[in-house]
Amino acid sequence: MKVSITVNGKEHHGDVEPRTLLVHYIREVLGLTGTNVGCDSSSCGACTIHMNGEAVKSCTILAVQADGSNVTTIEGLAKDGVMHPMQTAFMENHGLQCGYCTPGMVMAAVGLLNENPKPTEEQVRVGLEGNLCRCTGYHNIVKSVLAAAGSK
Amino acid sequence: MIPAAFDYKRASSAAEAISLVSQYGSDAKFLAGGHSLLPLMKLRLAQPAMLIDIGRVKDLSYIKDAGKHIAIGALTRHMDVETSKVLHEHAPLLSHAAGHVGDAQVRHRGTIGGSIAHADPASDLPATTLALGATYVVQGPKGQREIAAANFYKGFLESDLAADEMLVEIRVPKMQGAGWGFQKFNRRAQDWAIVGVAAWRRKNEAGVALVNMGSTPILATSVADALAKGASVGDAAALASNEADPQSDLNASTEYRKHLASVLVRRALEDASK
Amino acid sequence: MTITENKTTNVIGTRLLRREDPPLLTGEAKFTDDLNIPGALHLAVLRSPYAHAKIKSINVSAALKIAGVIAVYTGKDLQTTWAAPLPCAWPVTKDMKNPAHYPLAIDKVNYVGDGVAAVLATNETASRDALDAIDVDYEPLQAVVDLEDALSDKNIIHNDLGTNKSYTWPLLVEDTPGCVEEAFKKAKYKIKERYVQQRLIPMAMEPRAIAAVPQPFGGDITLYSATQIPHILKVMTALTLGIPEHQVRVIAPSVGGGFGSKLNVYAEELLCMALARKHNTPVRWVEERSENAQATIQGRGQIQHIELAADENGKITAIRVRIIGDMGAYLQLVTPGVPLLGAFLYGGVYDIPKAYDFSCTSVFTNLTPTDAYRGAGRPEATFAIESAIEALAREMKIDSFELRKRNYIKKEQYPYTAFSGLVYDSGDHLTAAEKAAKLTDLAGVRKQQKKQNVPGATKLLGVGMTSYFEMCGLAPSRVLASLNYSAGGWETATVRVLPTNKVQVITGSSPHGQGHETSWSMIAAEKLGVAPEDVDVLHSDTAISALGLDTYGSRSLPVGGVAIAMACDRVIEKAKTIAAHQLECAAEDLQFVGGTFSVKGSPDRALPLAAIAFGAFTAHNLPEGCEPNLEAQVSYDPPNFSWPFGTHMCVVEVDAETGAVEILKYIAVDDCGIQINPLIVEGQVHGGVVQGIAQALFEEAVYDGDGNLKTSTLAEYLVPAACDVPPITTAHTTTPSPTNQLGVKGIGEAGTIGAAPTVINAIIDALSGLGVKSMAMPASPQTVWKTIQAARGGKK
C-alpha cells in the first residue's frame, strides 16, 4: 500500500505492507534509527515521535494510518547543528545515562511543554507517565524538563 | 511485535465503513485510534484478516451541546474529550475520566468510540458513560439505533454491536451541576484501574459505575438505590459489589477487589457530596 | 602525588557535562539494532511454551515454505556446531552440578523461553511469521517452580544429575568450634526471620540485539552485541564455537543499559555467529520485550533464613544464615556465584565477632535462569541483615537506630579486618547515618508520626532506614581464585600521548550508560595537565581495546579508573626522563605541575608535556635507551575489594484502607570515597535507588504453578514511571579509600543495595501500631492490606 509521509520536513513516498508499524517504517525504511523500540505493549514510550504536532507512540500506529501526516522524529529537533532547548536542558541536567529512552523522553517532554508551558513538578511527572527509564530514576529528567520550561 | 498479516481498507464515511464490514463479516475489525486493537495484534492475541480504517471519517469527531445532552462523535480523541470546555461545564466527570486514560501519547490517538466499542470492563470510559446514563448511537446497514449504556455491555469484550454495526455517537446527559467523584486505583499511573469508580450525585439522585469489577462495566444500582432511600454514603458504599462479579488477577483477589470497591465508592461519593 | 593529597584538583570533582550526551540526544548514536548491515539475515528463535517438557518431534516444513525463510534449524541439527556448551564461569564448589546447556534444546525443554528452533529469513517479518508455522510436539512434564519443592528432589529436572541441588556452599567462621551454637544458647536476645527475595526482571530499556558479521576470507568474524562484556564474550564465544580466539572481534556499540542482564554469554550470540559462518552472510537478531522477560536472565530469587544472637546491650554475638538460591533451569555465566557475593555481608556494617555460620544451597527450577542483577547478592544480604536488625530492635523494644549505633563498626576501627578475613578499607557509618537522620528531620517525622498514627487513622506515617555496605570493585584475583571463579578481576588501561599532545585512553571497561568516557577523560586530564576535551577514550571494541574484563560489580572506577591513573603515572615517569635529558638536569630536580615539567626553583627552565610528546614522536633527542613515543599500558589487579557504604532513610504514608504506599521523601547518604564527577555519581544513586524502590513496591517476576511467566510485558511487570516514584535527596560523606591513589570506591550498585529494605522498614514502621512486624516484597497494595488484616486478626 502506498504511503506519503512528511518526516522532519521532507516528504517520503513508500510502499508498505498494511501491518508495517510506523516505528519500523521510520527506522528501517527511512533509516532514522534515533527512535527506539523498547517494548511490545505500548508501555515504554521509547518510540515517541510527534505526529501533526502531538506526541504519539509510533509503535502503536500503522504506517498506513500515518499516510499524509507530518511527522517529527528526534533527528528533526536540532536545527542547523544547534540542539533544541529541551536537548540542551537534558544535557545540562544529566537527564540521560544510557540514552535509549532519551529520544522518546525528549519528544514526550517537548510535547508536554507545548501543551503546558509552565508545569509544576507533579505535572511533569504525570505528563511523562507514558515514558519509562531504567537508568536515571527520573529525578534528573524532571529537573531537565523544568529547566527547559523555565528557560522560555 | 509484528502483527500477523491482514488486508486493509480505508473508509471515508460511516456508510462506507458499514458496507465494507458487511462484506467481510467477523473477519474484519474497525480501526480507529488503534490503541485497544493494535496492542493485541502486536502480541498476535488478535489476528483479524481485515482492518477497516475509520480514522479518517471526517464528520465523526465533534463535541456539541445538543440541549439536554452533549453529543460526542465516536472518533473524538480522549485528549479532546479531556480538554473540552463544553464537557468541563456540562459533564466534568467524563472530561476528568478521559484525562486518566493511559498516558498523553495514548490520549492523542485513542478515541472514545473505540474504547466503548471495545467494551473492556477495565477501561475508564465505558464505566463513566454508564454511570452518566449515556446513550450510544449505532449505525448499521438498516440505519441508526440508540442503545442505552445500561443495555450495551453483554460480556467480556462483547457488546450489543452487531458485526456490521459501527458506533457513531455518544450522548451524555448534562450533569446540571451535580457533584461527582472519580477514583482510579492502580499501582502505576499509566496502568488500567485495579478497581475504578465513576460517580455523580445530586441530593439523593446518583449514578455509580465500577471499572474492572466483572466481565462488563458495572452499574452499582444498589448503591444509587440506597442513596435514594436516604442511606449514608458509608452505608451505601458497603453495597458497592452487589452487582459486581470481580475477577482475581495478578494485582488483586476477588476479596480485595470487593473491599476496594466499597472504599473507593465511599470516597467517590464523599467527593460527589461536597 | 596522589589525587587525595593534591588539594587543588582542576577537573576531578567537577560536574563536567557528559560528552556521551549529544549523539544520544540527537539520535545519532547507534545501538546494535540501529546498525545498517546490508544483506543480513534475520534470526528468530522459537521458544518453548512449556516449563518442562520432552520434545517429541519438530516439523519445520510449513515454515520453510514462507517467502523469505532461508533455513530452520533444531537443536539436533546444530549439535555438532558447538565445541562446548554455554559457559558457566563460576564453579563455586568442586562438586557443583552443572547441566550441559546448548544454545537450542535438544530432547527436552526446561523453562518457558527455552530455545527450540532457529529460523533464518531475509527479513524480520518473515522470520517472525515462520515461528508460528513450526509445529513442535511436546510431552509436558510436571514443572518444578517452588524452591522448597525443588530441594525435595521429588521431581528431578536434569535427569543426568540425579538431583535438583546444584551445590551447597558454606562459610563457617568460628573463633572456637561450636561457638555459634553456644552464642545462640547463651543469647539474651535472639531472633529468627524468613525473607523471600523475589525474582526480578532487569528490563534494561534496550532489548538485547546482535549482529554477527563474517569476513569473507580468513575465517574472521565480528560480533556486534548489546553486551556489557565484549572481552569476556570474545574468549567465551571462541571456546564455545571452537574457533581461534584471535579470529573473533567483539564490538559493543552504544548499549542501552545492562544492570547485569547483558553480562552474559547468550544462546542467541552463539546462534548468530554459528549461522553467520555457516551461511557466510551476516546474521542479526533483536529480542522482543516479552521475549526478553523469558530469555534474558532474571535477578535475585532466594529464600533466606537469618538468625541473630545478641547480648543484653543488643550487641550481636552470632549470625546464622541459610539461603536457598534459585538458579533457574541452567547455570549461565555467573549464576551460581551470585548468592555467594552476598555471603560475606550478612553482618552488614556491624562489628561481628568470629561467630558466623552461613550456608547456601542452590537448586534448579523450571524457570528462566538467574544471574547478576544490580547488586548481585549484596541487595539480598543487606535486606536480610537490615530487616533482621529491625526484628531484634522490636524484640528488645528499643529504637532500631539506637541498636544500629551500638553495633556499627567505628570509624577508628578502620581499616577493619572482618570476621571473614576480608579487610574493609574505610568507613564511618555513624556520620553517614546521622547526616541521613538530619536530612530526613527524623525527630520531626517521629513527632508528626505520634500525632498522625492514632487509632482509626487512615493514613499512617512511617520512617525506615538502612545502613549498608557494598563489596565491590570486583576484584582481587587471588580472592576470586579462592572462590573458584574462573577469571581474574584486573583491569587494563593504555594511555598514549599523541604527537600533538592529544591523549588516547584505551580502557578495558565497557560502559552502557555510566559515562566512562567523560569520567576517564577527567582522570587523564587531571594527571597529565591537559583539557578533558583533548582526551579521547576508546572502549568496547576488542580490536582496539584488546584486553579487559569489562563492566559490572561497580568495578570500572576502582579498578579501571585506577589503572588509567597508574598508566598516566608511567607516562609522566617516562616523560620526566625525556624532559630531564632535554633540560639537562636530574629527573629528581623536576616537578610536573599544570602539564609542564620545570626545574624546581628555576621556573624558566621548563618543558610542557606537549613538547615532550612531540619530541618522543620525532625521537630526535631522546636519552640513551629511551624508546620513542609516549605511552604506557597497565594491568591493575586491585589488592582489595572496595567498600562504599551509607545510610538511606525514607518516609512513607500507608493508606490503611487500601494498602497503597506513598513515599513522601527519600534520602540517600552515600559514601563512595572521592567522587570523580558528582553529577554522574548522583545519577547512579538516583537510578539505583529507584530500582530498589521498584523492588520494594512494584516488581516481581510472577510464575504460575506450571512455570508460565505471567509478567512478561512492561504492562504487567511494573517498572515504575516518573510519577510513581519520589524525588531523591542525595548527599554524601567522603571517606577516601586507602586502597588506591584516587581514593575511589565505585557507586553503581549502592543505590539499589540500600533502597529496598529502607522502604520496607518504613512500611513496617508505619503499620507497627497495627501489630505488623514484617512485609513481603513487593509490598503491593493488596499485600499491604492483607498483612494489615492478618495483624488485626481478620477484623476490618
Give the model confidence (pLDDT) of B192-213 as tens digits. Answer: 999 999 999 999 899 999 999 9
Chains contacting C (3 or more CB pairs within 8 Å): A, B
Residue C8 in this model has a pLDDT that exceeds 70: no
Q: Which candidate in A3, A4, A16, A19 is best for mutational testing of the B interface (most B CBs within 10 A)? A: A19
Q: Any idea what the Cα angle at residue A116 is, between residues A115 and A122, rounded to 5°?
A: 130
* Contact state of B34 with A61 under an 8 Å Cβ cutoff: yes
Tell me the residue type at C732. H
Q: Judge if B29 and B127 occupy the same domain.
A: no
Quick: pLDDT tens for B152-174: 999 999 999 998 999 999 999 99
Contact at CB, B35 and A60, closer than 8 angstroms: yes
How close is the nearest chain A Cα to the Cα of B189, in Å?
6
d(CA C240, CA B44): 35
Is residue C792's pLDDT more than 70? Answer: yes
d(CA C589, CA C720) in angstroms, rounded, equals: 60
Q: Across the A/C interface, how many CB contacts are shorter than 8 Å?
A: 180
Q: Is B4 on the interface with C (CB under 8 A)?
A: yes
Q: Is C128 close to B43, i.e. CB distance below 8 A?
A: no
- Examine the pLDDT at C701 and tell me if it is beyond 50: yes
Q: What percent of chain C has pLDDT over 90?
A: 97
Q: Give me the pLDDT at residue C555, please.
A: 96
Same domain? For B88 and B160 the reply is yes
Minimal C-alpha gap between A61 and chain B (Å)? 7
Measure CA of the first residue to CA of the last residue in chain A; give whole Å.
43
- Which of C257, C715, C725 is nearest residue A135 as measured by Cβ atoms? C257
Q: Are C659 and C490 in contact (CB under 8 A)?
A: no
Q: Does B12 touch chain A (CB under 8 A)?
A: no
Are A140 and C255 within 8 A, CB to CB?
no
Strand C661-671 vs strand C728-732: parallel, antiparallel, or unpaired?
parallel
Which of B6, B103, B190 has the CB atom closest to A19's CB atom?
A: B6
Check whether residue B17 and residue B86 sit in a common domain. Answer: no
Cell, residue B18: 458499514
pLDDT at B142 over 50: yes
Domain C-terminal end among B173, B193, B226: B173
Task: Give the residue from chain A lying closest to B107, CA to CA.
Answer: A56
Residue B45 at interface with chain C, using a CB cutoff of 8 Å: no
Q: What is the mean pLDDT of each run of 10 residues along chain A (152 residues)?
A: 98 98 98 98 98 98 98 96 97 98 98 97 98 98 97 52
CB contact under 8 A, A100 and C206: yes
B33: domain range? 7-53
Mean of per-residue pLDDT scores for chain B: 96
Mutation target vs C (from B186, B187, B266; most C CBs, 10 A cutoff): B187
Looking at every residue in chain C, the average pLDDT score rounds to 96
Lowest model confidence (mean pLDDT) among C205-214, C706-715, C747-756, C785-794: C785-794
Q: For residue B162, is it within any domain?
A: yes
Topology annotation, domain A2-76? Ubiquitin-like (UB roll) (3.10.20)
Looking at residue C221, its pLDDT comes to: 97
Q: Which residues of C touch B (CB under 8 A)?
A: 124-125, 128-129, 132, 288-290, 657-658, 660, 697-698, 702, 710-711, 713, 715-716, 718, 720-721, 723-724, 780-782, 785-786, 796
**Interface size between A and B, measured as CB pairs under 8 A:** 87
Alpha carbon distances (Å) from C658 to A98, C335, C422 = 37, 38, 46
Residue to mutate among C46, C782, C783, C785, with most B CBs inside 10 A, is C782
pLDDT band with cut points at 50, 70 and 90 for residue C795: low
Closest alpha carbon within chain A to C290: A40
Is the separation of the CB atoms in C396 and C359 below 8 Å? no
pLDDT band at C1 (very low <50, low <70, confident <90, very high): very low
Is the Cβ pair C721, B256 closer than 8 Å? no
Interface touch C660/B189, C-beta < 8 Å = no
- Between the CA of residue C741 and those of C110, C415, C491, C654, what are the distances in Å? 48, 16, 15, 46
pLDDT at A151: 60
Confirm whether B180 is domain-assigned: no
Task: Give the pLDDT confidence of C127-170 residue by residue, as tens digits.
Answer: 999 999 999 999 999 999 999 999 999 999 999 999 999 999 99
Are B139 and B94 within one domain?
yes
CB contact, 8 Å: B9 with chain A?
A: no
Rounded distance between C-alpha atoms, residue C263 and residue C674, angstroms: 27
3-state secondary structure B9-59: EECCCHHHHHHHHHHHHHHEEEECCCCCHHHHHHCCCCCCCEEEECCCCHH
Is the predicted pLDDT of residue C54 greater than 90, yes or no?
yes
Q: Chain B contacts of C697, Cβ < 8 Å?
A: 187
3-state secondary structure C324-365: EEEEECCCCCCHHHHHHHCHHHCCCCECCCCEEEEEEEEEEC
Between helix C516-528 and helix C562-583 the angle, nearest 10°, is 30
Could you tell me the domains of chain C?
408-415+422-471+641-796 (3.30.365.10), 490-636 (3.30.365.10)
C686, C665, C678: which is closest to C734 by C-alpha? C678
pLDDT at C5 over 70: no
Last-in-domain residue among B123, B152, B173: B173
Which of B2, B43, B260 lies at the smallest CB-CB distance from C124?
Answer: B2
Q: Is residue B69 part of a domain?
A: yes
What is the pLDDT, as a whole number, of residue B171? Answer: 98
CB-CB under 8 Å, B188 with C720: yes
Q: Within a domain: residue B247?
A: yes
Domain with CATH 1.10.150.120 in chain A: 85-148
Percent of chain C with pLDDT over 70: 99
- Above 50 in pLDDT, residue C6? no
Q: Would you call the peptide bond into C415 cis, given omega within 30 degrees of 0 as the criterion?
A: yes
List all chains that touch chain A, counting a touch as 3 or more CB pairs closer than 8 Å: B, C
- Could you tell me which chain C residue has the CA closest to the CA of A85? C25
Task: Determine whether the interchain pair C780/B263 forms a contact, defined as Cβ–Cβ distance below 8 Å.
Answer: no
Which of B47, B106, B255, B256 to substitute to test the interface with C, most C CBs within 10 Å? B256
Is A99's CB within 8 Å of C21's CB?
yes
- CATH number (domain holding residue B113): 3.30.465.10
Is B104 within 8 Å of A112 when comparing Cβ atoms?
A: yes
Other CB atoms closer than 10 Å to residue C721's CB: what's the count?
24
Render the burial of C698-719: b for 16+ CB within 10 Å, e for the rest: bbbbebeeebbbebbbbbbbbb
pLDDT at B58: 83
Question: Measured between CB atoms, does C47 come within 8 Å of chain A?
Answer: no
Give a yes or no: residue B178 inside a domain. Answer: no
Taking the Cβ of residue A70 and every Cβ of chain C, the question of whether any pair is shorter than 8 Å is answered with no
Answer whether A140 touches C (CB < 8 Å). Answer: yes
Mean pLDDT, rounded, for C443-465? 97
| Residue ranges of C 249-268 with Cβ closer than 8 A to chain A | 254-257, 259
CA angle at C601 for the pair C597 and C607, rounded to the nearest 5°: 20
Q: Report the sign of the C-alpha dihedral through residues C579, C581, C583, C589, in that order.
A: positive
Which CATH number do you get for residue B43? 3.30.43.10
As a whole number, mean pLDDT of residues C278-291 equals: 97
Is B179 among the domain residues?
Answer: no
**Is B236 in the same domain as B166?**
no
Same domain membership, residue B148 and residue B62: yes
Say if B15 is an interface residue toward chain A (CB within 8 Å). Answer: no
In this prediction, residue B204 carries a pLDDT of 87
Average pLDDT of the residues in C431-452: 98
Q: What's the pLDDT at A13?
A: 98
Query: What pLDDT score does B26 carry?
Result: 81
Binning pLDDT at 50, 70 and 90, where does residue C9 land?
Answer: confident
Residue C410 has pLDDT above 80, yes or no: yes
Inter-chain residue contact B190 with A1, CB threshold 8 Å:
no
- In a domain? residue B27: yes
pLDDT surpassing 90 at residue B25? no
User: Does the residue B2 lie in any domain?
Assistant: no
Which three cell numbers mark B83? 480538554
Contact B185 C658 (CB under 8 A): yes
> Residues C709, C328: contact at Cβ < 8 Å?
no
Confidence of residue C3 (pLDDT cuts 50, 70, 90): very low
CATH tag, A85-148: 1.10.150.120
Nearest residue to A38 (alpha-carbon basis) of A138, A145, A133, A140:
A133
Calculate the CA C48 to chain-centre distance. 28
| pLDDT tens, residue by residue, C638-660 | 999 999 999 999 999 999 999 99
Of C124, C658, C713, the CB nearest to B263: C658
pLDDT-derived band of residue B176, with 50, 70 and 90 as boundaries? very high
What would the pLDDT profile of B209-268 be if each residue is shown by its tens digit?
A: 999 999 999 999 999 999 999 999 999 999 999 999 999 998 999 999 999 999 999 999
- C:169-228 residues touching chain A, CB 8 A cutoff: 203-207
C169 contacts C337 by C-beta, under 8 angstroms: no
State the pLDDT at residue B28.
Answer: 93
- Select from C27, C125, C727 the Cβ nearest to the Cβ of A75: C27
Q: Give how far A8 is from chain C: nearest CA, Å.
A: 13
**CA closest to B44 among chain C residues:** C132
- Can you tell me the ipTM of this complex? 0.98
Task: Decide if C715 and B191 are in contact by the 8 Å CB cutoff.
Answer: yes
- Of residues C329, C293, C333, C115, the one with CA closest to residue C202: C293
Give C4's pLDDT tier (boundaries 50, 70, 90).
very low
Distance from CA of A68 to the nearest CA of C (A): 24
The reported pLDDT for the residue numbered C603 is: 87
Q: Which residue of C has its CA nearest to A128?
A: C722
